[in-house]
Amino acid sequence: MKLKIKDIDISSGGPLIAVMNRGDAALLDLHVMDRIKIKRGKKIETVVLDIAESDEIIPKGKIGVFEEVIRSIKLKNNDEVKIIPARKPLSLDFIKKKLDGYELSKKEINQIVWDIVHNKLSAVELTYFVAACYMHVMSSRETILLTKAMVEHGDTLNIARYPIIDKHCIGGIPGNRTTLIVVPIIAAAGYTMPKTSSRSITSPAGTADTMEVLANVTFPLKKMKEIIMKTNACIVWGGSLNLAPADDKIIAVERPLEIDAESQLLASIMAKKHSVSSTHILIDIPGGKDAKVKSKNAALKLKTEFEKIGKKLKKHIRVIITDGNQPIGNGIGPALEARDVLWLLKRDPRKPIDLEKKCLMMCARIFEMIGIKDGYKKSLEILDSGKAYSKMIEIIKAQGGKEIAAEDIKIGKYSYDIISKKSGISKNIDNQVISRISRIAGAPHDKGAGLYLYKHVGDKIKKGDKLFTIYSESKHEFAFAVEFAKTNNGFVVS
Amino acid sequence: MKLKIKDIDISSGGPLIAVMNRGDAALLDLHVMDRIKIKRGKKIETVVLDIAESDEIIPKGKIGVFEEVIRSIKLKNNDEVKIIPARKPLSLDFIKKKLDGYELSKKEINQIVWDIVHNKLSAVELTYFVAACYMHVMSSRETILLTKAMVEHGDTLNIARYPIIDKHCIGGIPGNRTTLIVVPIIAAAGYTMPKTSSRSITSPAGTADTMEVLANVTFPLKKMKEIIMKTNACIVWGGSLNLAPADDKIIAVERPLEIDAESQLLASIMAKKHSVSSTHILIDIPGGKDAKVKSKNAALKLKTEFEKIGKKLKKHIRVIITDGNQPIGNGIGPALEARDVLWLLKRDPRKPIDLEKKCLMMCARIFEMIGIKDGYKKSLEILDSGKAYSKMIEIIKAQGGKEIAAEDIKIGKYSYDIISKKSGISKNIDNQVISRISRIAGAPHDKGAGLYLYKHVGDKIKKGDKLFTIYSESKHEFAFAVEFAKTNNGFVVS
């Protein structure tokens, strides 16, 4: 059957989807979510079928295609294409199998991951897979197979060095920019650390957003390798690389119900680490009522799982459970966090003490893993000697940035101080409220937006003391953030 | 925030969805699948949020809306609307709870069904609910609550009569138009039978499609009631009524994985019956390798569940397990089936014997349920006396049709005989192949399309005998169907 393209000018957010007229679909006995091949010249792509409810939207003789299809076979309006009915992806049978509680084989997991990576599954179909893995928790064997399949169906970084060090934090804590301190310390000590980081999804800044204040973070894999060979390390955005791409698509359908299928969380993290050939990995699980992991028990269970999977993947894993009850560092938002980092590395008295302590402890654990004693002391020496700072500048330059003084980092021009209306002790700081104010102020899309904390939990506070300053780059967003903070500033003082 | 409407001219297929620009969404700290209220004048609607990947699709200041939203608040391009962030539906917490294996309360099931009916859930969210109920099978208590909630959030037919008789077939068998025979027999005997039927989804004809050859099937509830009060019965399309509307939305996300969550199947059928106040219900489960229910054991298990739920809903339920290994009746496709029905009711020698036998047995079971003996004989008398035929004409006329001779029903003008190339016994007829040929020929959208079977399983066949004739209304579709049937006619002769 030949049809003419109608560009419906919207993105599906992943899956390759085309929409046919009811009559045309009937002719080929096709139904919603069947698969068809669209052929134009030598280009061919299998897509998920939707059927229009009215002839007005897709008239007979037309086929509507979402942006992903337009891009995949380079189509334009009114191009004539050939439509051929196709089989449904094999992985649907395997997803059904998992839904029925059976363990999946290597071949089956591979097929599912392949279909995910190549956008062959609809959102509904992918959701069934995620739900199945959530309810019938994957065995360690399956988790390892999933990890390996995610790595296999993506690019990998191969560097002939040993050890290759990595770290990962389970997230959810504002500030907490440990990567930008730990990586230069470890690299300055002569070890390799090919760090890929994420951008923010729901937080005021991801590590990649903060690093971007100082240098570029988007590189092809080849360039990333060059940076590492030159400086021992890198701090780049993982999202621009094609490392374990299935993972991001799975995370997207987990979000609406805030599902963390444990097996998927493990596979997701381990796949990203495995794909850059890491041999020694430090995992940070911050625990706290607003953190991702809420109880000590849940944290310990996750720790055991990480150690088990790590062992089977022949990786050295060290898991630390840390305090996730309040923000770490003073600046929240990309530029404010980057300023903290430079102050800390430059040994400026304005450095955030809590962040420094946590980073030194993390470096100590990393050094222990590779058999080096007195890691805490050694790391402090590297900091105090200025070697960590020099290494950071080296990395920044290799990533296309230049040396900049902390004071020269541009912070939002609109500012407003939030003042305590009570005296007492700071009993609690709500991570989610702090995140929300920073985000409304413009973080992370406006790098200079966010807030700067003057107080942490346990500090004495007098009525009239500044709790934090809100910074914003736009008057409009500024007003929103100040209004929000006035009704709820996240501090409990008593 | 004020934004201007961009009509994105496509239907989501159910959920109310709007698409914002990334920057605008950031300003309100909104993420994909968050909820927003769209306000225009006094009209307001809560919708699911999507975020455009590029500014080209939805520029800043614009908000894209799918057809469902356009219809719900009567919007047009460039209308200015107010956007207010809204809470996510409560039912997401309850879906998560079910996913975690907990039993749901009445209030929780009610909320979920309300949100489904009002299009408040995205397809991904609804899928989690279906997957949860599939894996953590609902208790009888939950199934009953789901059934009642489905009825409550929809219209109901109230008729002050007793008994009210109903029937349902689990489907999957081509032909098998028992409703059009059973309803007039039962109504002619003086009993009430308010029958709602479905249109075809994947079959060559649904009961509603076949009835539509003889009369209208689309009526508002009030008119349906009038027809019943006048004739004791009706045979109308359930899809145009708002009876248990949640059900259709659930079925739509079950289809891609061909999931039949047992609890949902039960709730779905019982809700449709409950909503028309049925008191005595006959359930037909055809079993067979191509049928929906494939094994005797599965059929027996389903039977027990129906009986259990029926008892709790205070309904008389009778479940029969029938042979689903081959098509029932000779005509396949709306007009060809309607012709069979008229021949049978008019006692024409061309009547399909297998269909008559099955219908008489079903009527006998129904009569038993309401305490009437010799139901088979009684039903045959009603048929032979012409009372069933007269009643059918009465119903047809009440539904806006008129009496027509079977011969005057318009059958597709293109026809082609499929001939046996072998002599022997007809060992098997593949339901799915027969369906597919009929659909490709144009059924059900072309009423006259389909095929007419000359042979059933067990019949002697000589080389050169006609197995069936394909009928089609369009030359184009005819050619496709003949080509398909030449490679596979579904008969095993040996």
Q: Residue type at A134?
A: Y
Interface of A with B in 185-244 (CB under 8 A): 201-202
Q: How confident is the model at residue A265 (pLDDT cuts 50, 70, 90)?
A: confident
Whether the Cβ atoms of residue B489 and residue A39 lie closer than 8 Å to each other? no
User: Which pLDDT value is given to residue B201?
Assistant: 76
Q: Contact B476/A9, CB-based, under 8 Å?
A: no
Residue numbers in B near A125 (CB within 8 A):
256-257
Q: Pick B128's closest partner by Cβ from A22, A27, A131.
A: A131
Quickly state the pLDDT bin for B402 (edges 50, 70, 90): very high
pLDDT at B203: 87
Residue B163: asked if its preceding bond is cis (omega within 30°), the reply is yes
DSSP secondary structure code for residue A257 in this structure: G
Whether the predicted pLDDT of A140 surpasses 90: no
> What pLDDT shows up at residue B54?
78
- Ordered alpha helix ranges (H), B196-258: 207-211, 221-231, 246-254
Q: What is the pLDDT of residue A78?
A: 93
Cross-chain Cβ contact B26/A476 below 8 Å: no
Q: Contact A92/B442, CB-based, under 8 Å?
A: no
pLDDT at B168: 96
Q: Distance (Å, rounded) from C-alpha A412 to C-alpha B225? A: 68
- Which band of pLDDT confidence, cut at 50, 70 and 90, is reported for residue B294? confident
Q: Is A29 in the B-facing interface, judged by CB distances under 8 Å?
A: yes
What average pLDDT does the structure give for chain A?
93
Give the burial class of A127: count Cβ atoms within 10 A of its Cβ; 0-12 exposed, 13-18 middle, 19 or more buried: buried
Q: DSSP secondary-structure letter at A103?
A: P
- CA gap A373, A364 in Å, rounded: 8
**Cα three-residue angle B38-B44-B47, rounded to 5 degrees:** 50
d(CA A181, CA A171): 16
Nearest CA in chain B to A476: B27
pLDDT at A358: 98
Question: In this predicted model, what pLDDT tens digit does every residue of B255-272 receive, in sequence order?
Answer: 778 777 777 888 889 999
Using the Cβ of B251 and the Cβ atoms of chain A, whether some distance falls under 8 Å is answered with no
Question: Who among A10, A32, A92 is closest to B64 (CB)?
Answer: A10
Q: What ipTM describes this predicted complex?
A: 0.80
Does B12 have pLDDT greater than 80? no
Q: Which CATH number fits domain A165-239+273-398: 3.40.50.1820, 3.40.50.2300, 3.40.1030.10, 3.40.50.1220?
A: 3.40.1030.10
Query: What CATH number should be reported for the domain whose range is B165-240+269-398?
Result: 3.40.1030.10
Q: What is the pLDDT of residue B200?
A: 85
Return the residue in A12, A127, A130, A478 with the most chain B beta carbons within 10 A, the one to mutate for interface testing: A127
* Residue B260 known to be catalytic: yes
Coil, strand, or helix at residue A326?
A: coil
Whether A202 and B31 lie within 8 Å, measured CB to CB: yes
Same fold, B165-240+269-398 and B411-493: no
Q: Cα A61 to chain center, whole Å? A: 42
Residues 6+ apart with CB under 8 A from B72: B16, B45
Q: Using a CB-CB distance cutoff of 8 angstroms, which residues of chain A are in contact with residue B253?
A: 124
Q: How does pLDDT run across A216-251, given as a tens digit for each residue?
A: 999 999 999 999 999 999 999 998 888 888 888 888
Residue A275, burial from CB neighbour count under 10 angstroms (0-12, 13-18, 19+): buried
Residues of A noted as catalytic: 260
Q: Would you call A348 helix, strand, or coil by DSSP?
A: coil
Q: Suggest the residue from B127, B255, B488 to mutate for an interface test with chain A (most A CBs closer than 10 A).
A: B127
If one counts every other C-beta atom within 10 angstroms of the C-beta of residue A478, the result is 22
The Cα–Cα gap between A361 and A138 comes to 33
Instruction: Give the pLDDT score at A56.
Output: 80
B33-68: pLDDT as tens digits? 889 999 999 999 999 998 887 787 889 999 999 888
The domain ranges of chain A are: 2-86, 91-136, 165-239+273-398, 411-493
Average pLDDT over residues A133-139: 91
Mean residue pLDDT across chain B: 93
Q: Are B283 and B366 in contact (CB under 8 A)?
A: no
Is B290 buried (19+), middle (13-18) or exposed (0-12) by CB count in 10 A? Answer: buried
Q: What confidence tens digit (pLDDT) does each residue in A385-408 have?
A: 999 999 999 999 999 999 999 999
Would you place residue B290 in the very low, low, confident or very high pLDDT band (cuts 50, 70, 90)?
confident
For residue A32, give the chain B residue with the closest CA. B256
Q: Do A96 and B259 touch (CB under 8 A)?
A: yes
Question: Residues 325 to 344 of B: which have CB under 8 A from any A CB?
Answer: none
Most confident of the ranges A152-161, A254-263, A406-415? A406-415
- Amino acid, single-letter form, for residue A278: S
∠ CA A144-A145-A149, nearest 5°, is 120
Query: Residue B126 has what pLDDT?
Result: 95
Is pLDDT at A24 greater than 90 in this prediction? Answer: no
Using CA coordinates, name the residue in chain A closest to B96: A257
pLDDT over 90 at A354, yes or no: yes
Helix A221-231 vs helix A387-398: angle between axes, to the nearest 10 degrees?
150
In whole angstroms, how far apart are CA B473 and each of A255, B153, B241, B411, B412?
Answer: 49, 41, 30, 8, 4
Distance CA A179, CA A362 (A): 10
State percent of chain B over pLDDT 70.
100
- CATH for A91-136 is 1.20.970.10
Residue A448, token pair as written in the block: 């200079």
Lowest mean pLDDT: which of A25-34, A255-264, B379-388? A255-264
> Do B33 and A253 count as a contact with CB atoms less than 8 A apart?
no
Q: pLDDT (tens digit, 9 = 90+) per residue, A51-95? A: 887 788 889 999 999 888 998 999 999 999 999 888 888 899 999
What's the CA gap between A58 and B19, in Å, rounded? 20
- Identity of the residue in A54, A128, A442 whose CB atom sits nearest the CB atom of B131: A128
- Rama region for B175: left / alpha / beta (φ>0; ψ in -120 to 50; rest): left
In the numeric block, the tokens 């219809």 are attached to: B71
> Above 90 in pLDDT, residue A12?
no
Query: pLDDT digits over A163-209, tens only?
Result: 999 999 987 799 999 999 999 999 999 999 999 998 887 789 999 99
Residue tagged active-site, from B7, B155, B260, B323: B260
CB atoms within 10 A of CB A98: 23
CATH class of A2-86: mainly beta
- Which of B10, B33, B257 faces A8 most closely, judged by CB atoms? B10
As a whole number, mean pLDDT of residues A23-34 equals 82
At B421-434, the pLDDT tens digits run 999 999 999 999 99
Residues of chain B found within 8 Å of residue A127, distances taken between Cβ atoms: 123-124, 127-128, 131
- Chain-chain contact of A99 with B440 (C-beta, under 8 angstroms): no
Cα–Cα distance for residue pair A32/A1, rounded to 1 Å: 17
Chain B residues within an 8 Å CB radius of A477:
27
Tell me which residue in A22, A131, A477 faces B131 most closely, judged by beta carbons: A131
Would you call A253 and B440 a contact, using CB atoms and an 8 Å cutoff? no
d(CA B423, CA B421): 7
Distance from the Cα of B23 to chain A's closest Cα (Å) equals 8
Q: Which residues contact B31 (CB under 8 A, 6 or more apart)?
A: A201, A202, A255, B25, B49, B51
So what's the pLDDT on residue A201? 76
Share of chain B above pLDDT 90, in %: 75
Nearest to B283 by CA among B167, B435, B417, B191: B167
What's the average model confidence in pLDDT over B2-24?
87
State what percent of residues in chain A have pLDDT above 70: 100
Q: Using a CB–CB cutoff of 8 Å, tell me whether B353 touches chain A.
A: no
Determine contact: B31 vs chain A, CB below 8 A. Answer: yes
| Tens digit of each residue's pLDDT (9 = 90 or more) over A282-291 | 999 998 887 8
Chain A residues 396-455 with CB within 8 Å of chain B: 436, 439-440, 442, 445
Query: What span, in angstroms and rounded, lies between the C-alpha atoms of A464 and A424?
Result: 11
Hey, is the C-beta of A475 within 8 angstroms of any chain B C-beta? Answer: no
Cα nearest neighbour of B472 on chain A: A27
Residues 83-142 of A with CB under 8 A from B: 92, 95-96, 99, 101, 122-125, 127-128, 131-132, 134-136
Residue A29 scores a pLDDT above 80: no
Q: Flag whether pLDDT at A258 surpasses 80.
A: no
B33:A256 CB<8 A: yes
B27, B253, B480 ranked by CB distance to A477: nearest: B27
Q: Which of B72, B121, B116 lies closest to B244 in space, CA to CA? A: B116
Beta-ladder partners of A83: A38
Q: Which helix (H) or strand (E) holds B460?
A: strand B460-461
Amino acid at B342: L
Domain range B411-493, CATH architecture: Alpha-Beta Complex (3.90)
Query: Which residues numbered 254-273 in A keep a CB inside 8 Å of some CB on B?
Result: 255-259
Q: What is the pLDDT of residue A57?
A: 81
pLDDT attached to residue B171? 76
The CB density around residue A25, as the number of other CB atoms within 10 Å, is: 24
Peptide bond into A59 cis (omega under 30): no
User: Burial letters for B183-217: b for 16+ Cβ neighbours within 10 Å, e otherwise?
Assistant: bbbbbbbebbbbbbbbbbeebbbbbbbbbbbbbeb
pLDDT at B2: 93
